[in-house]
Amino acid sequence: MTPPRLENRLPPEDLLERDDHPLRELAWLAGASLALLAVLVLVTGLSARWLAPRLPFKYEVALAERVFDDEKAVVTSADAAAARARRAALQALADRVAAVMALPPGMPVVVSDDPSDLVNAYATVGGRIHVFHGLLRKLDSEQALAALLAHEIAHVKHRHVAANMGHGLAVMLVLSVVMPEGAAQAAQGLLSSAAQLALLGYSRDAERQADSEALAASVALYGHAGGVATLFKVMPQAEDAPAGTAWLRSHPDTVERLAALRAAAAAKGAAMEGAVTALPGVLKALPAAGAPKS
Amino acid sequence: MNLHFWLETFNLWVVLVPLLLGYGVGRWLERRHYRSIREREQALRHVLALSTRYVPEGVVAGSAQLVTGGVVISSDYFKTFVAGFRKFFGGRFRGYETLLERARREALLRLKAQAEAAGSTLVIGVRFQSTTIAGSATPSVEIMAFGTALIGTRPPTPAA
């Protein structure tokens, strides 16, 4: 019997040359991960956008109380009295506007002003509405201010604020799971400055809905749409608005809004102009622009 | 490209630069290692390594000696980065396959070199053992081959 032949054979070729290019592998994996993440962010965000407006409004109010009600009082007492009077005047008008807007029960609207020079206003969680002095200076009639408040109250009424905030928080949550450090900080910052969130802007549909509510409220209160038209003309155009304000990105442009307003007013049989009431004195006597408040 | 831009995107570069470096250097080293492995495999062809536990039939040995060949091999940043994705998606990970193939071949070569230095051309009972020696951040692994080198065999080079 012959002994078996013993041998070691050399490997045919190296694995390195035999296989897929590692960069292609990375591209596939990274691409698939990003696609997965995008789908996850989209689905979670839209689910939250759907869910948030269905949560009871009282949770929003509780959140707003935690976030906003520790604001520092105004420095000097003379300023404090003026600020109180300003708020009272704004609140009184907002209450009149809200009364014709058929808000669901348990949805209070609280208006406050902000000494910033921005030509803007926004609604945020818990029915809080902030009007910047920059905008107050440009509004010359009670009708225009009422139209503005009606527009913002409509965002509260239709829970646009909750939908936006839910969307934003859900996306942050997903991102914080994937990239723990940076996104968690971002989410925390978002919660602590919930007011800023409202500046992210609503969808165009939400804006149109708010515009049409503003028209309805104006007509109900004053019998004409003049205030809304003034408001649209005052709101900054894309060119002269400060960068980063929500209006220029999310609001339909002025010409389009005015045209839509004219059509809607005509459909309602409401006049585009009418009697104008001057703003109450406390809302005209604003402190010097940019004066620090807190 | 002002300073602000670099600070803003700092987190990106912290990942991207080591990634490119890991890819470039890692691939260059891997190619070079493969080349060297092939050369030495050719040079050590006359030393046989078998996994059999017994002296093969027809071979008579004068003496025997334990020979070992160990190698520690480390992943690079690029491979580890891609491996992170593999944790999600599963599948064959080619980066680690080449890594471990090189380690096994290198370990066997060192074993054969030791055997040759001891005057042997036949190592039997060859086994491999591996040990993880670093954390999961950038994994390293030790591969060790060991076997029994037969010295003074007749016929001196069995077959081959």
Total domains, chain A = 1
* Residue in the block written with tokens 């040759």: B116
Residue A271 lies in a domain: yes
Q: What are phi and psi of A107, to 5 degrees?
A: -125, 80
Q: Give me A30's structure tokens.
A: 């990274």
Whole-model pTM: value is: 0.66
A9 touches chain B (CB under 8 A): no
**pLDDT number for residue A65:** 84
Q: Determine, yes or no, domain membership for A21.
A: no
Query: Which of A1-5, B30-34, B82-86, B109-113 has the least mean pLDDT?
Result: A1-5
pLDDT value of residue B67: 97
For chain B, what percent of residues have pLDDT higher than 90?
52
Write down the pLDDT at residue A293. Answer: 44
Q: CB-based burial of residue A259 (10 Å sphere; 0-12 exposed, 13-18 middle, 19+ buried)? A: exposed
Identity of the amino acid at A108: P
Contact (CB<8Å) B78/A14: no
User: Which residue matches tokens 């041998």?
Assistant: A7
Whether residue A91 is contained in a domain is answered as: yes
How high is the pLDDT of residue A195? 43
Write down all domains in chain B, each with its CATH number in brackets.
3-151 (3.30.110.70)
* CB-based contact, A11 to chain B, within 8 Å: yes
According to DSSP, the β-strands at B140-151 and A128-132 are: unpaired
When the pLDDT of each residue in chain B is averaged and rounded to a whole number, the result is: 88
Asked if A16's CB is within 8 angstroms of B23's CB, the reply is no
Q: The domain containing residue A139 runs over which residues?
A: 80-161+193-284
Q: How far is A185 from chain B (nearest CA, A)?
A: 14
Whether residue A59 lies inside any domain: the answer is no
Chain B: closest CA distance from residue A28 (Å): 10
pLDDT of residue A240: 44
- Report the alpha-carbon distance of residue B37 to residue B29 in Å, rounded: 12
Per-residue pLDDT of chain A (294 residues; tens, 9 = 90+): 566 788 888 887 777 766 678 888 888 888 888 888 889 888 998 899 899 889 899 888 888 888 777 655 555 666 778 888 888 889 999 999 999 998 888 888 999 888 888 888 888 888 889 888 888 888 888 889 999 999 999 999 999 888 888 888 888 788 777 765 655 565 556 555 544 444 456 777 888 889 889 999 988 888 888 888 888 888 765 444 444 444 445 555 777 788 888 888 888 888 888 878 888 777 877 777 654 444
pLDDT score recorded for residue B109? 97
Q: How far apart are CA A264 and CA A7, in angstroms?
A: 93
**Identity of the residue in A11, A32, A182 whose CB atom sits nearest the CB atom of B89:** A32
Selecting from A16, A25, A32 the residue whose C-beta is nearest the C-beta of B30 gives A16
What's residue B44's pLDDT? 94
ipTM for the whole predicted complex goes beyond 0.85: no
Chain B contact for A56, CB < 8 A? no
Q: Which of B11, B27, B34 sits opposite A14 (nearest CB)?
A: B34
pLDDT, position B154: 79
Look at residue A171 in the predicted model and tell me its pLDDT: 81
* B→A interface, C-beta within 8 Å: 11, 23, 27, 30-31, 34, 37-38, 41-42, 45, 48-50, 56-59, 78-79, 81-82, 85-86, 88-89, 94-95, 97-98, 101, 105, 122, 158-160
Q: Which long-range contacts (CB under 8 A, 24 or more apart) does A196-200 make?
A: A197/A124, A197/A125, A197/A164, A197/A165, A197/A168, A198/A122, A198/A123, A198/A124, A198/A125, A198/A161, A198/A164, A198/A165, A198/A246, A199/A120, A199/A122, A199/A244, A199/A245, A199/A246, A200/A164, A200/A168, A200/A246
Cβ A33 vs Cβ B82: under 8 Å: no
pLDDT band at B158; cut points 50, 70, 90: low
Q: Give B134 to chain A, closest Cα distance, Å.
A: 23
Q: Does residue A292 belong to any structural domain of this protein?
A: no
Give the pair of three-digit tokens for residue A94. Answer: 């907002």
Residues of A in contact with B59 (CB under 8 A): 3, 6
Contact B48 A7 (CB under 8 A): yes
Residue A25, domain member (yes or no) = no
Q: How far apart are CA B38 and CA B146, in angstroms?
A: 20
Label the pairing between strands A110-114 and A121-124: unpaired
Residue at A114 is within a domain: yes
pLDDT at A243: 45
Residue A29 to residue B11, Cβ atoms within 8 A: no
Per residue in B17-71, pLDDT (tens digit) is 988 999 999 999 999 999 999 999 999 999 999 999 999 888 888 999 999 999 9
Residue A124 CA to residue A160 CA, distance in Å, equals 9
Task: Report the first-to-last Cα separation within chain A, whole angstroms.
Answer: 103
**Yes or no, beta carbons of A22 and B82 under 8 Å apart:** yes
Per-residue confidence band for B2, with pLDDT thresholds at 50, 70 and 90: confident
Q: Is residue A181 part of a domain?
A: no
Q: Is A32 on the interface with B (CB under 8 A)?
A: yes
